[in-house]
Amino acid sequence: MTKRDAAGPSAGELPTATELIADADLDAARRAVQGVAVRTPTLACGELASAAGTAVALKAECLQGTGSFKLRGALSKVAALGERAAAGLVTASAGNHARAVAQAARLRGVGCEVIMPRDASVSKVAAVESLGANVELHGASVEEALSRAVERSRETGAPLVHPFDDLDVIAGQGTLALELLEEVPDLARVVVPVGGGGLASGIGIALRRAGVEVELVGVQARACAPFAEALTSAGELGGPLAAGSAATIADGIAVRRPGALTSTLLGELLDGIETVSEAEIAGAMVFLAEAAKLVVEGAGAVAVAALRAGRLAPIAGTSVAIVSGGNVDSGLMAQLLLRRETEEGRRVRMFTRVSDRPGGLAELLELVAGARANLLNVGHLREGVALEVRETGIELTLETRGPRHTEEVLAALRAAGYHVSLE
């Protein structure tokens, strides 16, 4: 059976899952990946195990050379193209696959054209351009960008490197599972983010070919979950899928139309699929930063989000959560960390009034310092609030040790005669 071209099979030629599993060349993919992609660590995570009620480890693909697992599939595809790669490469992606293909093209010494959605992360666009790729922003979604990439491939003759619906790409992602089988003797379950389905398909193929009894559970962002919606409505996967929305913090897996190959594969290989909310994804990102010291993007955190939320029953053996990528905007990560501090009562805003005279504010701040609170910001309000003559409104942003400490600060200020309210 010959391998399909990069654009996938034509109508009426869809292979069966059994054919695809047999045809995936994991050995060639591993040769292509070795020496270039990092063998990322598999880290035990006690805090997550406590929340999930089962032994848990993290496969930290966020530490991969390009910041995500996508490098594996890109290297595999470029190796499989052989001399065809000399014409250059064309691809489409919201960011991680684009970066991986750009890196693979750079290593091969060939050109690379990348189509990205107009609202793609600024940092991801910059990262792709820094690798020498030509970036075109087109469309409002990965699907629209991919349509444009198909056009460019036809116009230029450069082969298309599909982000997920390509057997060579899928085989490359499967090399991750080969590492897990070697590193986790009691591997019982793999929990994997699902967007287009390439990573989950590759892992599923590797597990099937190894003949092991390991559960494969996919996780999608609830805001864009075509696989989960198909299972809910029809009870099975297969055929073209679509989701109605893609507005999610997990932009890397916001794929509304997964591929024909991946739909066929996951219909057979997945043991289950879960969805997680935006708040759960954000919470998982912060958890990974604080507990595991890993900077992880939204798409990379969904497997951990599902485990933290208790969506999966405890199992004998180790569950591995695939932390698939770490390419997150620093501004977003900072916002999430600040949000977490506010939710836990460690960051508060207070409003009070002081006499509008020299030393009035200094007296207030001395009391704050005496209560051992950390002053982050102070603002003067002279308009829009009820004030007496010669009085100034003061808004304080403070960092405290938590709700109890906040109450101690309030008590100290009120005991000194200040009327203080929390905002």
127 lies in the same domain as 172: no
62 lies in the same domain as 85: no
Give yes or no for residue 352 having a pLDDT over 80: yes
Decide which of 319, 337, 355 is a domain's last residue. 337
Active-site option among 70, 121, 153, 201: 70
12: in domain: no
pLDDT digits (tens, 9 = 90+) for 132-165: 999 999 998 888 999 999 999 999 999 999 999 9
8: in domain: no
Integer Cα distance of 410 and 414 in angstroms? 6
What CATH number corresponds to the domain at position 74? Answer: 3.40.50.1100
Active site residue 70: yes
Helix (H, G, I), strand (E, B) or coil at 39: coil
pTM: 0.84
Residues 6+ apart with CB under 8 A from 408: 371
321: in domain: yes
Give yes or no for residue 262 having a pLDDT over 70: yes
206 lies in the same domain as 297: yes
CB contact at 8 A, 59 and 320: yes
Phi-psi region of 73 (alpha: psi -120 to 50; beta: other; left: phi over 0): alpha
11: in domain: no
Decide which of 292, 322, 337 is a domain's last residue. 337
CB contact at 8 A, 421 and 353: no
Structure tokens at 221: 């962002």
Beta strands in 194-334 (DSSP E): 215-221, 272-276, 318-323
Give yes or no for residue 211 having a pLDDT over 50: yes
Structural domain tally of the chain? 3
355 lies in the same domain as 330: no
9: in domain: no
CB contact at 8 A, 117 and 141: yes
What CATH number corresponds to the domain at position 402? Answer: 3.30.70.260
- pLDDT score, position 120: 85
Give yes or no for residue 312 having a pLDDT over 80: yes
296: in domain: yes
Quick one: CA dihedral 71, 77, 79, 85, positive or negative? negative
**Burial zone of 108 (CB within 10 Å; 0-12 exposed, 13-18 middle, 19+ buried):** middle
237 lies in the same domain as 326: yes
- Higher local confidence (pLDDT), 373 or 4: 373
Integer Cα distance of 225 and 243 in angstroms? 6
pLDDT digits (tens, 9 = 90+) for 212-228: 999 999 999 999 888 88
What amino acid occupies position 106?
R
239 lies in the same domain as 360: no
348 lies in the same domain as 275: no
pLDDT range class, residue 246, cuts 50, 70, 90: low
Structure tokens at 375: 């002053």
103: in domain: yes
33: in domain: yes
How many CB atoms sit inside 10 A of residue 229's CB? 18
Domain limits for position 401: 344-422
Active-site option among 76, 93, 263, 324: 324
Q: Which long-range contacts (CB under 8 A, 24 or more apart) does 80-83 make?
A: 80/3, 80/25, 80/28, 80/32, 80/168, 81/6, 81/159
210 lies in the same domain as 325: yes
Helix (H, G, I), strand (E, B) or coil at 321: strand
64 lies in the same domain as 202: yes
201 lies in the same domain as 316: yes
180 lies in the same domain as 192: yes
For residue 398, list its beta bridge partners: 348, 375
For residues 88-98, give the mean pLDDT. Answer: 93
79 lies in the same domain as 101: yes
